[in-house]
A and B are shown apart, each in its own frame.
Chain A
Amino acid sequence: MRPRPLSPHLGVYRFMYTMATSIAHRITGVVLSVGLVVLVGWLFAAASGAEAYAQASGLLSSVFMKLLLAGWLVAFCYHLCNGIRHLNWDLGRGLEKSEARRSATLVVVATLVLAAAFIYAAFFAEVPR
C-alpha cells in the first residue's frame, strides 16, 4: 500500500489568516502547558522553606523570566479568547466564513487589550499591601 498522507497538511491549502488563528491556538496551548511547570514549581517553592522560595523568586524576577512571564500572559489571553471562539463554534454559531474572519480579528484585538491590562497590572502597577 502506498504511504497514506499524514498531518500536518502544509502546502495543500491556500493560506488564510484564519488558519494562523487555528495553529496559534495549538502553539499557545503547548506554551501554556510548559508554563504549568513553572506555576507548579512556584507553588512548590512557596510550600517549601524561605531559602527555596528566595531562590525561586530570584529566578522569576530576572529580566529573561519576566519576558517569559509576559509571553505566557499573552499566550493565556489568546488561548482564552480563541477558546471562547471555539466554544461558540461548538454551539453551531458563527461558522460562516465571513463570521469566522470577523471573530478572528475580534480575538486578536481582545487578546491585545486583555494582555496589556494584565502586563500593566503585573509589572507596572503599584502592588497594594
Chain B
Amino acid sequence: MSLRSPLGKVLGRGSAKQGVAHWWAQRVSAIALVPLTLWFAFSVVHLPTSDQEAVRAWVGSGINPVLLLLLIGTMTWHSALGVQVVLEDYVHGKGLKVASLLASTFAHLLLAAAGAYAVLRIAFTTGSV
C-alpha cells in the first residue's frame, strides 16, 4: 500500500513541501548538538560565573570560541526547526500562523547573530591564553 496521495501520484513528486529536508536537518543538528551541548554544560558548571574575567578568559581561550560559534549556530538552527513544527501544529488560522512563523524565524536569526557577535567580541578582545 502506498501512502502517496492520488494527486501526488499523478504529479510523480509526492508532497510539494520540503518535509524531507526539514526532517533531515533536524536530525543532523541533533547529532551535532549531543557532543556540543555536553561539552558546554560540563564546562559552564565548572566556571566561576560571577567572575566576568574568568568567563571571558574561558570564552576566548583555545578552541572554545570556535566550539561556541558552532554551538550557537547549531542550537539556533535546531531550535528554529523545532519551534516551526510546534507553531505549524498548534497555531491555527493562516494569518496568525504566518505571523508567528515569521516572528520565530527573525527571533532565531537575531539570537544567532547576537550570540556570534558576543563570542567574537570576547575572543578578539581577550589576550590569548
The yes or no answer to A43 lying at the interface (CB within 8 A) is yes
| Contact between chains at A7 and B75 (CB < 8 Å) | no
Instruction: Tell me the interface secondary structure of chain B in the complex.
Output: helix
What's the minimum C-beta distance from A54 to chain B, rounded to whole angstroms?
A: 8
State whether A26 and B55 are in contact (beta carbons under 8 Å apart), knowing that A87-B31, A127-B48 are contacts in the complex: no
A36-B111, A87-B27 known; A7 vs B89 contact (CB < 8 Å):
yes
Give the distance in Å from the alpha carbon of A128 to the alpha carbon of B79 in the complex.
32
Residues in A whose Cβ lies below 8 Å from that of B119: 43, 47
Contact (Cβ within 8 A) A46 B45: no
Are B34 and A80 in touch, CB under 8 angstroms? yes
Given A39-B115, A87-B31, A118-B41, A46 contacting B55 (CB threshold 8 A): yes
Name the contact of B122 in the complex, choosing from A30, A36, A47, A84 (C-beta under 8 A): A47
**Cβ of B89: which chain A residues have Cβ within 8 Å of it?**
7-8
Q: Which residues of B contact A7 (CB under 8 A)?
A: 89-90
Chain A neighbourhood of B75, CB < 8 A: 36
| B37 and A36 contact, CB distance less than 8 A | no
B37 to chain A, nearest CB (A): 7
**Number of A residues with CB within 8 Å of any CB on chain B:** 37
B8 on the interface (CB 8 Å rule)? no
Identify the interface centre among B27, B33, B76, B115: most chain A CB within 10 Å of its CB.
B115
Interface contacts beyond A40-B115, A47-B117, A60-B49: sample of 19 additional A-B pairs, CB < 8 Å, sorted by A? A8-B90, A26-B82, A29-B79, A32-B79, A33-B82, A36-B111, A40-B111, A40-B118, A43-B118, A44-B118, A47-B118, A47-B119, A47-B121, A53-B55, A54-B52, A90-B27, A118-B41, A121-B46, A128-B46
Could you list some 29 contacts between A and B, CB below 8 A?
A7-B89, A8-B89, A29-B83, A30-B82, A30-B83, A32-B79, A33-B79, A33-B82, A36-B76, A36-B79, A39-B115, A40-B72, A40-B114, A43-B59, A43-B115, A44-B114, A46-B56, A47-B119, A47-B121, A50-B52, A54-B52, A60-B49, A61-B50, A76-B41, A83-B30, A84-B34, A87-B30, A90-B27, A127-B47
